[in-house]
Amino acid sequence: MERGRGTLKILFLLTLCLQAFTGQCQDSEQRSDLRIVLVGKTGSGKSATGNRILEGDAFTAKSSPVSVTVHCEKQSGVVDGRKIDVIDTPGLYDTTMSKEEMKSEIEKAIYMSVPGPHAFLLVIRLGVRFTEEERNTVKWIQENFGEEASMYTIILFTHEDQLEGKSVKEFLAESPELRKLINICGGRYHSLINDKREDNTQVTELLKKIEEMVKDNGGEHYITEMYQEAQRKIEAEALERRRQEENKRERERERTVEEILIKMQEEEEIRRREEKLNDCKWYASTAALGLGAMHSSPWSLAAGAVLAAVKGYECWGTYFKSGSSTSEDQEK
């Protein structure tokens, strides 16, 4: 009897241990799966950052005025016992790529990280001038990935060793624009020395910050539905802009046609007045010369002059009255 109870007790303990071990394995599997998307302008050190995280030479990284990464690229590795997927993207604002090409690469980055990335790392190089493009990068991310994307974004500073003896905190204290950028991303930032591979502490700390961000987001990652919603919003805004531009062009066309019609009316009125004036001149001169020619006497010439004056006066009166009426009509 005692032996049976002891066996049951052992089986019970083994069951508890097995459940605990299974739970730990599940937790380990959940922690091991991290999907990271690297974004940033050309020359910020995205590819080198990917190599630093994966502890190898997974991505092609070199100094270049144009983007070395021309297409999205995914590489994977195991770091601190967890599986890491890193997706490198072309440099933002790369002048060699059209907006359509960049949009296509963005979509690739999202679908390469299905069911969705846990983190967007916005890579910014320290020790160089902070540009207008980088100021607008978070806005660019929100416009292309949705406003929720900033909840999944960490600012990652590279080339910390080029600060000439300053710490990152001291450097940020002198840059209100960088602090504003960090605040938009929930105050999250990290720094790396890309060439310092013998010490993996910085990478370990970065992964911990990503895990903390995931917990703050309820254990959720960025999902493709967020991206699709962002794209629907972009398309709706583009459609509205096109509608407004078309309405503006239509108003301009109507205004141009109206101006042309008014000008044609004015030219027609001028032409009529000139014809009337010429008629008046002809009538007056014909009346005077004709009567004088018929009766070549002083009295005939005098009569012709009087008739020309009377008819000319009547014609001129009609001419000016017509012009005055036209002006009044235009004013009305």
Rounded to whole angstroms, the Cα distance separating 228 from 166 reads 42
pLDDT at 207: 93
Taking each helix axis as running N to C, give the angle between helix 224-294 and helix 99-112, from 0 to 180 degrees, rounded to the nearest 10.
160
pLDDT at 105: 84
* pLDDT value of residue 319: 54
Question: Torsions phi, psi of 234, nearest 5?
Answer: -60, -45
pLDDT of residue 242: 78
pLDDT at position 75: 92
User: In order along the chain (332 residues), what is the average pLDDT of each group of 10 residues?
Assistant: 50 45 45 83 86 85 58 89 90 76 82 88 85 77 82 91 82 87 92 76 92 91 75 72 83 87 87 78 60 53 57 58 51 50
Cross-strand partners of 76 = 85
Say if CB 175 and CB 130 are below 8 A apart.
yes
- Beta-strand ranges (E) seen in the chain are 34-39, 73-79, 82-88, 119-125, 153-158, 189-191
Position 24 scores a pLDDT of 45
Give the global pTM: 0.62
Q: What is the pLDDT of residue 285?
A: 65
Report the pLDDT value the prediction gives residue 41, as an integer from 0 to 100. 84
| pLDDT value of position 11 | 43
Query: What does each C-alpha distance from 234 to 64, 227, 253, 288 come to in angstroms?
Result: 32, 10, 28, 81
184's tokens: 């938009």
User: Residue 219: exposed, middle, or buried by beta-carbon count in 10 A (0-12, 13-18, 19+)?
Assistant: exposed
Q: What pLDDT score was predicted for residue 62?
A: 58
Q: How many Å separate Cα 6 from the centre of its chain?
A: 71
Asked if residue 82 lies in contact with residue 54, where contact means CB atoms within 8 angstroms, the answer is: no
